[in-house]
Chains A and B, each alone.
Chain A
């Protein structure tokens, strides 16, 4: 399946990749064939994005490229050149969770957690586009993210809850 099996006779020329990763500039040399997910995970230590289907179906590897969710398993690392990349590691600040993370915890929106970073980042992109999505809109937007554990109900509830938190609704909902 989607495994790189090109065996170059000579190492191809490396290219310089410059991007912003979670708000900080990063520069590194990459081979043209390198994909974004292994670069993030193995070279930059951002292990929150996960590899699952490897064919752009499941969304476990989702990161934000200039705010747009992409499957990093099938994105060339070089496509991030000059762009800003956001991973799950960039969401919490000074030990304070992002409201979407807090909502996911509060609503029980994950079990094993393997889909969670992708799910949260897709949610972030959704809520940046649509501040108050309906349940149907949430389901439609997130249909590129699979979760095998939860059955999705609690995720939709968490996205609604997160929308409320980001819109500044009472902090104590559900108390």
Chain B
């Protein structure tokens, strides 16, 4: 870590400022939802369905409601006064099963008790009689002609934050269809020199934020709800709770403590509605803390199957791509429609096409619901497209870097019609990866090198607000609702405030999100916070700065231009008046505060998904992998990522996002897969024993992250977001590296068995 000693103290941006929460996290003092105790709080436990698709015939409590310590028991029958269905995209999900269960793990009964042990003990008493319905546990089964329908899709209504255009659902198990086409795909394929075609499968994956979903809810009177929750998007949760329970938005308060990771698993609304309903019934505050096996069936990454083909000329110029992808969204849509749309957008890859045609569907199955996980869509489809680009390269004698030099889009070129043009230098990024991999060096047998490049539509809806308060003693309080999931947002924001107000970072305080106190922010996700909330923070700080300058001008009796703000004071020719003195002069007493407000909203248009994205997040990776041909075991010798961030406001935090995202990419590529029984729909590996999350033992031999700063982002000081690209980029680069080493996979994760079989397939083909 090196700091330029000559830089003035006010220069806060672009430096490796330590996390402002570092100390309390290192000492164990940082409070997460599970560490909080609200006076009078009860402990909840949820009885979950063992059946994946069944009608509830009878719920027999067997005295669970009268068991020692039990205060309240909630079933679907308690919700007759409200419409219990929610879902930000589609209102398809009851907060507790009503008559029917649609996945194994669906809540059927919830118990609140004086102690956790009492709530847990009550579970053993409960007995539910089910009448089985046919289970469709796979995409194929759900799309079969005679498949039972999970929902009456024609009757579904859009959720509060659907945001994906008109909803036209036909009867069946498809909850969303996203399609686009341009150019004459069929003609190009018919005439092309080279056509590569394949079918691919991507597994369902568990985000595994180490802190499972935890919510405390309190129903204060008939119409006031207070929730402490491990949630990424408190304002969207607030709106959904208000809608569900029929209370004004202002009556719902969401307080967000530190989160033990999110990665999308805590985006939108998860356990909050059930916890609020239980608190309403108990007339006491209730906490529901999921166990890991419960969080696994609360949300997950979509499993996907896809078909794709790519056409090219014999000199390696890409012509056309066509793709169809089916995303398994489980029993409820959750964020499925957005995942489907983002996946469809990622299918072509950032290349210059004469024609593309993409169709993607979200499919209901009797498995646990799927929603957001870091880099969704891109992680699903980038590896498929990149394998095809490399295969074309192999057929026409161009290596992977040369193929991309020839075909990648240039900055300013259109990525999709009507959307934001490319705002990154992809060829430069790939050159960096190739250099870091020592691209032209000779390779040992069974060693492969691969690169990958893709784009992710980032930023979600561009609405954020922030307040900056400059207190009478010259310290600043920043009110912003971005959730601190670990990414370091509060630290970066404190740097922005310090930079704008020319004061030390240590004098900026950033409390946690609380919808009663901190202003509206759409969400924490889609790599949007530095770019969008950060811009609101910058504007709020600038408003305060303008007020300071005006006050200083009055105090000095000089024009504003003659005054400089530096090191916590206004200066004119060696004479300084510090901020407390300026504020005192303004109010005529010691006290008061200066307040600035910053807002971000769509500059033009509606900010809709179609007109976006806010920026294109670059998903670039490079991998050198070695395969043991006897066992199919993969060893990663080197992993390289590129963070194309416009401007790194805190380089160390950027690098941290890259390394963490890349490690998750390794997990997605090599190890992680939720296994649902294809007949019963039950999750078979619901513990961390059976579901392997990467550990220290899975580290690559070397890791290199490159930060690219071209100042081309729409955020503060030219910044754009980071955090997701490394995941998709790494997963795809593992696949291309393995292909280079001789194992061309059509399904992930690349388990030793799959790698070994892929090697054999190729050897057998070569022998024919």
| Residues of A near any B CB (own CB < 8 A) | 1-7, 38, 41, 46-55, 57-58, 60, 87-89, 91-92, 97, 101-102, 104-106, 108, 110-117, 120, 138-140, 142-143, 145-156, 174
Instruction: Report chain A residues within 8 Å CB of B680.
Output: none
Instruction: Report chain B residues within 8 Å CB of A87.
Output: 28
Name the interface residues of B652-671: CB closer than 8 Å to any CB of A. Answer: 652-653, 655-656, 659-664
Q: CB within 8 A of B261: which of A120, A148, A152?
A: A148
Q: CB within 8 A of A52: which of B117, B123, B211, B703?
A: B211
Instruction: Report chain B residues within 8 Å CB of A41.
Output: 35
Instruction: Report chain B residues within 8 Å CB of A7.
Output: 67, 121, 124-125
Contact A151 B660 (CB under 8 A): yes
Q: CB within 8 A of A88: which of B27, B289, B291?
A: B27
Contact B663 A114 (CB under 8 A): no
B25 contacts partner chain A, Cβ-Cβ < 8 Å: yes
Category for how many chain B residues contact A: 35 or more
B589 contacts partner chain A, Cβ-Cβ < 8 Å: no
Contact B687 A114 (CB under 8 A): no
Q: CB within 8 A of A5: which of B19, B121, B258?
A: B121
Contact B659 A151 (CB under 8 A): yes
Contact B291 A112 (CB under 8 A): no
Contact B32 A50 (CB under 8 A): yes
Contact A50 B699 (CB under 8 A): no
Instruction: Report chain B residues within 8 Å CB of A153.
Output: 659, 699, 703
Residue among A6, A46, A152 having the largest count of chain B Cβ atoms under 10 Å: A152
Contact A3 B291 (CB under 8 A): yes
Contact A150 B656 (CB under 8 A): yes
A108 to B297: give the CA distance in the assembly, Å.
32
Known: A3-B120, A57-B688, A115-B210. A154 touches B656 (CB 8 A): yes
Name the interface residues of B6-30: CB closer than 8 Å to any CB of A. Answer: 18-19, 21-23, 25-30
Q: Mark contacts of B119-156 with chain A using CB atoms, 8 A cut-off: 1 yes-contact digit, 0 otherwise.
A: 01101110000000000000000000000000000000
Contact B21 A142 (CB under 8 A): no
Contact B660 A97 (CB under 8 A): no
Stretch of B50-58, B482-490, B539-547, B619-627 with 4 or more beta carbons under 8 angstroms from chain A: B482-490
| Residues of B near any A CB (own CB < 8 A) | 1, 18-19, 21-23, 25-32, 34-35, 67, 116-117, 120-121, 123-125, 208-212, 258-261, 263, 289, 291-293, 485-488, 652-653, 655-656, 659-664, 686-689, 693, 695-697, 699, 703
A-B CB proximity, top 9 nearest = A48-B28, A112-B486, A114-B260, A113-B25, A111-B486, A151-B663, A88-B28, A151-B659, A139-B696
Contact A38 B652 (CB under 8 A): no
Instruction: Name which residue of chain A comes closest to B27, CB basis.
Output: A92
Contact A105 B18 (CB under 8 A): yes
Contact A148 B693 (CB under 8 A): yes
Q: CB within 8 A of B23: which of A46, A97, A117, A174?
A: A97
Residue among B22, B30, B34 having the largest count of chain A Cβ atoms under 10 Å: B22
Q: CB within 8 A of B695: which of A48, A89, A104, A146?
A: A146
A46 to B29: give the CA distance in the assembly, Å.
9
Instruction: Report chain B residues within 8 Å CB of A51.
Output: 34, 289
Known: A113-B30, A114-B261. A148 touches B656 (CB 8 A): no
Contact B696 A112 (CB under 8 A): no
Contact B696 A38 (CB under 8 A): no
Known: A5-B120, A7-B124, A154-B659. A50 touches B25 (CB 8 A): no
Residue among B26, B211, B259 having the largest count of chain A Cβ atoms under 10 Å: B26
Q: CB within 8 A of B258: which of A60, A113, A149, A152?
A: A113
Contact B27 A89 (CB under 8 A): yes
Contact B211 A114 (CB under 8 A): yes
Give A72 Cβ to nearest chain B Cβ, in Å: 13
Give B51 Cβ to nearest chain A Cβ, in Å: 18
A146 to B672: give the CA distance in the assembly, Å.
14
Q: CB within 8 A of A1: which of B25, B656, B687?
A: B687
Instruction: Name which residue of chain A comes closest to B24, CB basis.
Output: A113
Q: How many A-B residue pairs have CB under 8 A?
A: 175
Give B492 Cβ to nearest chain A Cβ, in Å: 13
A126 to B637: give the CA distance in the assembly, Å.
26
A120 to B703: give the CA distance in the assembly, Å.
23
Contact B488 A111 (CB under 8 A): yes
Known: A47-B35, A60-B210, A140-B697. A54 touches B292 (CB 8 A): yes
Contact A5 B23 (CB under 8 A): no
Contact A151 B662 (CB under 8 A): yes
A5 to B111: give the CA distance in the assembly, Å.
14
A147 to B211: give the CA distance in the assembly, Å.
11
Contact B210 A114 (CB under 8 A): yes
Instruction: Report chain A residues within 8 Å CB of B32.
Output: 50, 114
Instruction: Report chain B residues within 8 Å CB of A117.
Output: 28
Instruction: Name which residue of chain A comes closest to B696, CB basis.
Output: A139
Instruction: Report chain B residues within 8 Å CB of A105.
Output: 18-19, 22-23, 26
Contact B703 A116 (CB under 8 A): no
A142 to B697: give the CA distance in the assembly, Å.
9
Instruction: Name which residue of chain B comes closest to A101, CB basis.
Output: B26
Instruction: Report chain A residues within 8 Å CB of B26.
Output: 97, 101-102, 104-105, 110, 113, 116, 120
Instruction: Name which residue of chain B comes closest to A57, CB basis.
Output: B688
Give A93 Cβ to nearest chain B Cβ, in Å: 11
Q: CB within 8 A of B686: which of A1, A5, A48, A49?
A: A1
Instruction: Report chain B residues within 8 Å CB of A174.
Output: 1
Q: CB within 8 A of A112: which of B29, B212, B485?
A: B485
Instruction: Report chain A residues within 8 Å CB of B259.
Output: 112
A156 to B123: give the CA distance in the assembly, Å.
42
Give B3 Cβ to nearest chain A Cβ, in Å: 9
Further 15 A-B residue pairs, CB within 8 A, beyond A53-B688, A54-B292, A114-B261: A1-B292, A52-B212, A55-B689, A97-B27, A108-B19, A116-B25, A120-B26, A146-B693, A148-B263, A150-B659, A151-B662, A151-B699, A151-B703, A153-B659, A154-B659
Residue among A1, A101, A148, A152 having the largest count of chain B Cβ atoms under 10 Å: A148
Instruction: Return 9 A-B CB contacts under 8 Å, by A number.
Output: A4-B121, A5-B123, A5-B124, A105-B18, A111-B487, A113-B258, A116-B28, A148-B261, A151-B662
A58 to B695: give the CA distance in the assembly, Å.
9
Known: A52-B212, A101-B27, A112-B485. A4 touches B656 (CB 8 A): no
Q: CB within 8 A of B260: which of A47, A57, A112, A152?
A: A112
Give A66 Cβ to nearest chain B Cβ, in Å: 20
A116 to B656: give the CA distance in the assembly, Å.
15
Instruction: Name which residue of chain B comes closest to A55, CB basis.
Output: B687
A88 to B358: give the CA distance in the assembly, Å.
52
Instruction: Report chain A residues within 8 Å CB of B291.
Output: 1-3, 54
Instruction: Report chain B residues within 8 Å CB of A55.
Output: 687-689
